Structure 1
């Protein structure tokens, strides 16, 4: 038996950066739902960009997923399988909702849409996911990995297996899947990692006013800050942090509207607000990463000198498919207590993290009392001895030491020993640049606390 529900409607520029619920009833005994969404025109006359409408599905018992910025607007759900972006599971009777997340509708032409939902009671069978092997924990050490990556579960051009193959080619120790507003691919990631790569859970909160990573999650996360009543970004950040997850402001200075709607961080009450980490290296090094580094340093001064709170820098490939695989990405080299998700996230939250496209950085400090510190650590006192080196720096590369936003020393990869002094809370960062000025490696700060 099949029943079909058709919903027709019109979107206007008033729906730009909004959320439109399309509700329908699912009868008892339904085992499969199939939904097809169409909208015209794809681009208004004279507009430079297509309209961007993404779909999310909410069942009576909770969210079943989303498919951001993907041209495939057909959704199939049953107990055994689901369209990428969505989670399989029993089809509950009652009121379901397909949400139209209107990321870009510039007009002036209205958009006419149709949603057709077919409910059926045919027999379905489940296809079990492969069981992943546990990764061997090698104990305390430095571990290399990615905190930001996408697949066809959102707007990527490859499946989870393709992303894992890329991670293996890069010899990563850990890999985080952060598809847009969905966690549907994480179970597959865990099943296919096969013991040689630590799979880590995550999601990219892809809002109308900025993007953020929630790392260490496998659950749907509310993301519609400032576009749904009662949903504010600082509160979302604080709630995730209380749960032990890591909240990272993503690519804060990336190109924004209308080309990449919502990509630039435009939350005035979250600069950085309660966030503990900022992604300053997104994909290959670029002008907007340079701007992001500058903003991070401004926020770093604000949080450390004003609040006594440390702020952490991260990197993420933000990779979407094989076309990006050959580029020079920045990865995270994390000093952690072990190769586990909890240990990696704890190391990053503590700032024990070097961002690198390959070369290593040796950064350490010794306080006047003989106390030793590495990246992320605090030296108590007014003076310290800093040692920096980049032993495998390529020819023409330059090391630079920056204190509180001012260049303190510049030299070659052989490094130097420098005396630091400060009369107030101070931070020190070390970076390695190539001959063209692009970043090769950036170390998280060491902090002085007089």
Structure 2
């Protein structure tokens, strides 16, 4: 049957360079209405045991690591208890593929983290080939703002490659995480997934498939669908249109005076402003001949991102 679950898959603690014990972000996750978090301390599994103690029926804890290399960081999610992937290499060493394979063999996924982070080793120098998802929205360096130029660059880079990837049937989903190090950061942003159940394997499968969208806070809610005749597809899906006209709909709540935009391989193709109350529905029509995919963005009146979706492919 499945359902929608909210989670933050990039969280640090006192076991690397964070200032929080595992109990503090776990409590913050529950308070924010999140259903899952991932522990991703830098190049260590020291927090796995204490994080596991925070899990219960209402909060799933995914064991992971932020693999910190000389030329980029990436998240290994779904690794075994106590497992350390390690990052003693750079892009010129040609070792990244073996490490990605190791995580995949364990049933985990690999996330290219904050591709345009503004510090040495933070900029992601590896090809995205072999990675399952791209963290296009990272909250660490946004200060009191939900969005910055580094995230804008990551989104543009991901978006430019999306058309070709969707066309060949192997597109790479976008995710968003807080990169929590301090109190008050958790869940800004986070990823909302449609999973078969609240379990590590089901959540990772949903992230890998792109059945997800990114929210700037738990106050934001988005429903995004494409319909042709009697058939409907949601984010991450593929709609067989049968040559019929496609009706694209976004229902948005929690972003006052937002601008909702739809994007295809032709760029931004439709804009609508919502009411000051922040709730509304936006509709646009297209065909598979005109659009190989459609995705949505929701921005606040300052132009900062409030939510963005993965695409629906149209055939």
The SS at the match of 2:235 is coil
Unaligned runs of 5+ in 1: 1-138
Larger radius of gyration, structure 1 or 2? 1
Q: Which residue is equivalent to 2:311?
A: 445
1:276 aligns with 2:132: yes
Q: Which residue is equivalent to 1:157?
A: 19
Q: Which residue is equivalent to 1:183?
A: 45
Unaligned runs of 5+ in 2: 140-145, 275-279
Structure 1 residues 423, 234: closer, same or farther in 2, change over 3 A?
farther
Residues in 1 aligned to 2:26 and 2:235: alpha-carbon distance in whole angstroms: 29
Q: Which residue is equivalent to 1:224?
A: 88
Residues in 2 aligned to 1:418 and 1:143: alpha-carbon distance in whole angstroms: 27
Structure 1 residues 169, 373: closer, same or farther in 2, change over 3 A?
same
Residues in 2 aligned to 1:444 and 1:435: alpha-carbon distance in whole angstroms: 22
The SS at the match of 2:30 is helix
Greater percentage in helix: 2
Residues in 1 aligned to 2:251 and 2:314: alpha-carbon distance in whole angstroms: 22
Structure 1 residues 179, 431: closer, same or farther in 2, change over 3 A?
same
Match of 1:261 among 113, 120, 132: 120
Structure 1 residues 340, 437: closer, same or farther in 2, change over 3 A?
same
Displacement of 1:326 after TM fit? 5.6
Q: Which residue is equivalent to 1:206?
A: 68
1:245 aligns with 2:108: yes
Residues in 2 aligned to 1:328 and 1:245: alpha-carbon distance in whole angstroms: 22
Question: Retained in 1: the 8 A contact 2:8–2:177?
Answer: yes
Question: Retained in 2: the 8 A contact 1:210–1:263?
Answer: yes
1:364 aligns with 2:228: no
Residues in 2 aligned to 1:389 and 1:243: alpha-carbon distance in whole angstroms: 36
Match of 1:377 among 228, 232, 237: 237
Question: Retained in 1: the 8 A contact 2:264–2:291?
Answer: no
Question: Retained in 1: the 8 A contact 2:180–2:186?
Answer: no
Q: What CA deviation, in whole Å up to 9, does each residue of 1:106-126 have, x standing for no partner?
A: xxxxxxxxxxxxxxxxxxxxx
Question: Retained in 2: the 8 A contact 1:387–1:415?
Answer: no
Q: Which residue is equivalent to 1:109?
A: none
Structure 1 residues 388, 210: closer, same or farther in 2, change over 3 A?
same
Q: Which residue is equivalent to 2:96?
A: 233
1:117-128, aligned counterparts within 5 Å?
none
Displacement of 1:145 after TM fit? 1.0
The SS at the match of 2:206 is helix
Question: Retained in 2: the 8 A contact 1:361–1:388?
Answer: no
Question: Retained in 2: the 8 A contact 1:234–1:273?
Answer: no
The SS at the match of 1:289 is helix
Residues in 2 aligned to 1:206 and 1:319: alpha-carbon distance in whole angstroms: 16
1:331 aligns with 2:183: no
Displacement of 1:424 after TM fit? 8.0
The SS at the match of 1:206 is strand
Residues in 2 aligned to 1:388 and 1:422: alpha-carbon distance in whole angstroms: 15
TM-score if structure 1 supplies the norm length?
A: 0.63
Residues in 2 aligned to 1:426 and 1:294: alpha-carbon distance in whole angstroms: 18
Q: Which residue is equivalent to 2:30?
A: 168
- CA RMSD of superposed structures (Å): 2.1
Structure 1 residues 387, 151: closer, same or farther in 2, change over 3 A?
same
Larger mean Cα displacement after TM superposition, 383-392 or 177-186: 383-392
